[in-house]
Structure 1
Amino acid sequence: MVFKKMLGAFGVGGPSVDTVLSNPNTRPGLMLGGQVNLTGGSHDVEIDHITVGLVTRAEIDGAEEEYDALVEFHRVQVAGGLHLREGQQLSLPLQVAMPWETPVTDLYGQHLHGMTMGLRTEVAIRGAVDKGDLDPVYVHPLPVQERILEAFGRLGFGFKGADLERGHISGLHQSLPFYQEVEYYAAPQYAHTVNEVELTFVANEHGVDVVLEFDKRGGMFTSGHDSYGRYHAAHADADRVDWAAQVDGWVREALDGYQSLHAGHGYAPPAQGYGTPGYPPPPPGYGQPGYGHAGHGHPGGHYKEEHHERHGGPGMGAVAAGVVGGAALGFAGGMVADEVFDSFGDEEGGDEEA
C-alpha cells in the first residue's frame, strides 16, 4: 500500500506494516516479489509470525441461495520469531509462487469485470493476528490462454463476464478449491444453436486443459440443454497454432459431438491435441465414444462438481501491452478500469474461508 497501516488489534502505539510489491502484475506460474516493511510502535513486541496470502472472491452454493465469499487460496510465511524494538524499522523480502491455476483478472491493460485478487499481510504478535495490509494483484493470462481468449473474440463471441465457482471439475486434477468461468454470448455463426458459452482453464506446468460449456437453444419440440467439450493446449504451441481455426473446430466438434454421441456414433479426436508434437500422451479413454463430452445435468457426468469444503513458467514479456484492442476481441463493455478493491468492501479485516 502507499501508506503504513496501523495494526489495529494491538492498540494505539502498536507497530505498523506496509507491504510493497515489486510489480503487482503477474501471471500463473511466476514469482510475485516484494517486501514487508515493519515499523515498531511505542514499545517492544514479539512477533510470532508474518504471513501473506492470496485472496479472491468466489461464488459458493449456500443452503438456500448462492453468495460470494472471500477465499484465501495460497499462503506463504515471510518470517517468524522476530523481536521488534520500539521505533525499529525492518524490511523483510517476500516471494510468492503464483499457483498455475490462479484465475486471470486482467487482459490488454483492462480489468476483467467480476474478478478481484489481492495479497493480504497478516502479523501475529503473541497469538493475536491482525490482517494489516491488502494489496491488489493483477493476474494476466499465460500466452496460450491469451491466444485462446483472442480467438474467441476474433470469432465474434461477446464477453459477458467472469466469476469463480467453488468446486471441482470432474476428471481434472485441481489444486485450488474453485475454477474460473469466462462467459461469452454466442458468435453469430453459432447463435442458431447456442445461447452462451462458458470457458474454463485448468493450467499446469505443461499446458492448459480447456473446458467449454454450451447453453444450447431448444427446438420447436425440444427443450434447451447444456453440452460440454474438453481439450488440451500445450504452452509450447502458443505461437504455433491457428487458434481461431482451432477454437472454431472445438466449438463445432463439441456441439456436433453431443448429438452424435447420443445418436450412437463414435467420437472423433480434434485435429490438434493429444498425440501431436508438444502435447502429452492421451489419457485413458481418449478417442473412445464419450470422451470429452460429459452429457448434461446431474447426475450423469456433469463436468463441474460442487464441493463445500509450483514454480517457474513463461516470462512476463509484454504483459498488458495492448497489441490488439479489447473491443476487437469481444471485450467491449465487459471490462472496466475501476478500483479493483471496491468489491472487497470492509471484509479485508474480517473472516475468510480457507
Structure 2
Amino acid sequence: MAFRKFLSALGVNAPEVETVLDGMSARPGDRVVARTTLRGGGADVEITHLKLDVVSRFEDREPTSGWTRPGVVAAGHPVGPFTLRAGETRLFETDLHLPWETPLTHAFGMPVNGGRVAVRTELAVDNAVDRGDFDEFRVHALPAQETLLRILRDLGFRYDEAEVKRGVAQGGNQAVDFWQEFEFSWPAAYERPGQLEVQFVAREHDLDLHLGTSGRLTFSYAGMDAESWRTTVKDHVHASF
C-alpha cells in the first residue's frame, strides 16, 4: 500500500501512513506481521493512537462491496499517545495472531465467493479517527478444511457462497463471536429445496464440522484419513437428511 494521507481536513499538516504486510497469504492460526511507516506533515500533531486490526466483511454490516463497517477478527494493540513532529518518520511493527476460526478467503487455491479479510490501519489525531486504510490478504483453508470441502463436493454438493455472521451459531462451540457459513446446493438425488449450511469450528489440533442443524462431527488432524472422513460425512448426511 502506497503512502496515504490521513485526515485531509488537516491540510498540509496531515500525517501520511504506509502499512506493508510481510506476506499476502496466511492460514487460520498463523501470525501476520505488518510494518507501518508514519510520516509527519507540515506541523507537529498529537497522535492519540495508531492501531491495526484484522477485519472481515460481516454479512449484516456491509451493504456494499466496500469496507464501510467491517467486523473485527483479531484486534491489535494500540500505540500512543505520542507527538509526531513535522517531517518526522516513525516505524512500527505489529504482530497480529489470526484465530483458528478466521474466515477463509481461498480454498484449493481459488477465491471463496463472499470471503474477504484485511488489515485495517486506524490513526487517531487529536481524537479524530481515520479508519480508511485497508490491506487485503488471502486466508487459505487448513488442510483439514480443504479435505472436508472436497468431500462435500465429491458427494455432489455445489458450493454457492460464504457469509460471515456475528454472534454464536446454534451449537457452534465457538471461541469467537462470529462464524463463517458456507452454503451448498443439495445434490439432485436428495430432492431437497434450499441449501445446506456448513460451518467449521477449527482449533489447534482438531475441528468441528456442522452440517445444517444436524449436530457436529469432530475430526482430529492427527492421522488424517480422507477416505474414513468421507465415509463418516456420507453416513451422517444419509442418516440426518
Partner of 2:150: 150
- Cα drift, residue 194 of structure 1: 6.4
Distance 1:48 1:196 in 2: 47
Distance 2:156 2:73 in 1: 34
Partner of 1:251: 237
Partner of 2:173: 173
Partner of 1:161: 161
Q: What is the CA deviation profile of residues 107-139 of structure 1, one whole-angstrom value per residue up to 9, with x for unaligned ones?
A: 233211122221111112232221141110211
Partner of 2:202: 203
Greater displacement, 135-144 / 123-132: 123-132
- Cα drift, residue 241 of structure 1: 3.7
Q: What is the CA deviation profile of residues 47-70 of structure 1, one whole-angstrom value per residue up to 9, with x for unaligned ones?
A: 222111122222339xxxx96853
- Is this contact kept in 2: 1:78–1:93, CA < 8 A? no
Distance 1:152 1:16 in 2: 47
Q: What is the RMSD of the two structures over their aligned residues, measured on CA atoms?
A: 2.3
Unaligned runs of 5+ in 2: none
- Cα drift, residue 191 of structure 1: 2.4
One-letter code aligned to 2:234: D
- Cα drift, residue 152 of structure 1: 1.2
Distance 1:77 1:231 in 2: 35
Alignment size in residue pairs? 235
Distance 1:88 1:107 in 2: 42
The DSSP-based 3-state class of the residue aligned with 1:245 is helix
Partner of 1:30: 30
The DSSP-based 3-state class of the residue aligned with 1:87 is coil
- Is this contact kept in 2: 1:208–1:232, CA < 8 A? yes
Aligned with residue 240 of structure 1, among 211, 219, 225: 225
Distance 1:88 1:124 in 2: 17
State the 4+ residue runs in structure 1 displaced beyond 6 angstroms: none
Partner of 1:216: none
Which of these two proteins has the greater Rg computed from alpha carbons? Answer: 1
Partner of 1:111: 111
One-letter code aligned to 1:107: A
- Cα drift, residue 208 of structure 1: 1.3
- Cα drift, residue 19 of structure 1: 0.7
- Is residue 139 of structure 2 the alignment partner of residue 139 of structure 1? yes
- Cα drift, residue 10 of structure 1: 5.2
Go from structure 1 to structure 2 and tell me whether the alpha carbon gap of 1:10 and 1:89 turns closer, same or farther (over 3 Å shift).
farther
Distance 1:132 1:252 in 2: 48
- Cα drift, residue 252 of structure 1: 1.6
Alignment of 1:1-354 (within 5 A): 1=1, 3-8=2-7, 11-13=10-12, 14-60=14-60, 70-188=70-188, 190-192=189-191, 195-213=194-212, 228-237=214-223, 239-242=224-227, 243-255=229-241
Go from structure 1 to structure 2 and tell me whether the alpha carbon gap of 1:71 and 1:254 turns closer, same or farther (over 3 Å shift).
same
- Is this contact kept in 1: 2:73–2:102, CA < 8 A? no
- Is this contact kept in 2: 1:157–1:187, CA < 8 A? yes
One-letter code aligned to 2:200: F
One-letter code aligned to 1:16: E
Q: What is the CA deviation profile of residues 181-232 of structure 1, one whole-angstrom value per residue up to 9, with x for unaligned ones?
A: 11111234x423565311101122232111101xxxxxxxxxxxxx523111
- Is this contact kept in 2: 1:120–1:133, CA < 8 A? yes
- Cα drift, residue 86 of structure 1: 1.5
One-letter code aligned to 1:200: Q
* Greater fraction of residues in strand: 2
Distance 1:8 1:125 in 2: 8
- Is this contact kept in 2: 1:113–1:162, CA < 8 A? yes
- Cα drift, residue 88 of structure 1: 1.7
TM-score, normalised to structure 1, is 0.61
Go from structure 1 to structure 2 and tell me whether the alpha carbon gap of 1:173 and 1:247 turns closer, same or farther (over 3 Å shift).
closer
TM-score, normalised to structure 2, is 0.87
Distance 2:237 2:193 in 1: 10
One-letter code aligned to 1:199: V
